[in-house]
Chains A and B, each alone.
Chain A
Amino acid sequence: DAGVIQSPRHEVTEMGQEVTLRCKPISGHDYLFWYRQTMMRGLELLIYFNNNVPIDDSGMPEDRFSAKMPNASFSTLKIQPSEPRDSAVYFCASSLESLNTEAFFGQGTRLTVV
């Protein structure tokens, strides 16, 4: 398996624009996680899905953020409208069974909002 695949790897956008980050989890993994990492706030869990259903989105910072998982092999994180403070590295991760199993991270998307 190629692992968790995220796209794009880098994204530079202007404030106010819509940004969509994409993730393909490892096949067979039931859990998918979206994380944000910044120097100031560290690693934050934004939302996670179990079998394509959002379970906990309490980490989503604002209504500008939304995430979907239309099927077991694809998820998106959308920011609309984007702001400079959204600049961060966004990681997608997947795990096999539960929160208590190894999570495999994608290589991340470095988002810069100017």
Chain B
Amino acid sequence: QQPVQSPQAVILREGEDAVINCSSSKALYSVHWYRQKHGEAPVFLMILLKGGEQKGHEKISASFNEKKQQSSLYLTASQLSYSGTYFCGTLLGSNYQLIWGAGTKLIIKP
């Protein structure tokens, strides 16, 4: 039931792009994305509520493909501040629990 995130880790140079995927074996109601820096609390990025919906904030955006039961997080022109572990959380329905993926560790090098 836990969503599968890929890749597990990625190392980039500043300015490069990255894609993080989150896949579920069950139909999804919504997908939540958070970033956590080492030793800190997770911080909200975005929630995708509808199939096919894309949301974005500056150079971080995400898509939600309801049919494929997956979501992708896009980081363009990555900055050093993007480093951290990215988690997706999936909700199967309004009365279900939020289940978290294992996380994708992103390392940005100057």
**Which residues of chain B from 41 to 60 have any CB-CB distance to chain A below 8 Å in the complex?**
41-44, 47, 49
A56 and B97 contacting across the interface, CB-CB below 8 Å: yes
Whether A43 lies near B42 (C-beta < 8 A) is: yes
Q: How far is the CA of A111 from the CA of B100 in the complex (A)?
A: 21
B40 and A99 contacting across the interface, CB-CB below 8 Å: no
Chain A residue at minimal CB-CB distance from B2: A42
* Contact B43–A105 (Cβ < 8 Å): yes
**Given A42-B103, A43-B87, A98:B43 Cβ within 8 A:** no
B94 contacts which of A42, A44, A100, A107 (Cβ < 8 Å)?
A: A100
Residue of A nearest to B93 (CB): A99
CA distance A45 to B99 in the complex (A): 7
Q: Are B91 and A103 in contact (CB under 8 A)?
A: no
Question: A44 to B30, Cβ gap below 8 A?
Answer: no
Question: Within 8 Å of chain A (Cβ to Cβ): is B102?
Answer: yes
Q: Once the chains bind, are B47 and A102 in contact (CB under 8 Å)?
A: yes
CA separation between A111 and B19, bound complex, in Å? 34
Alpha-carbon gap, A67 to B27, bound state (A): 31
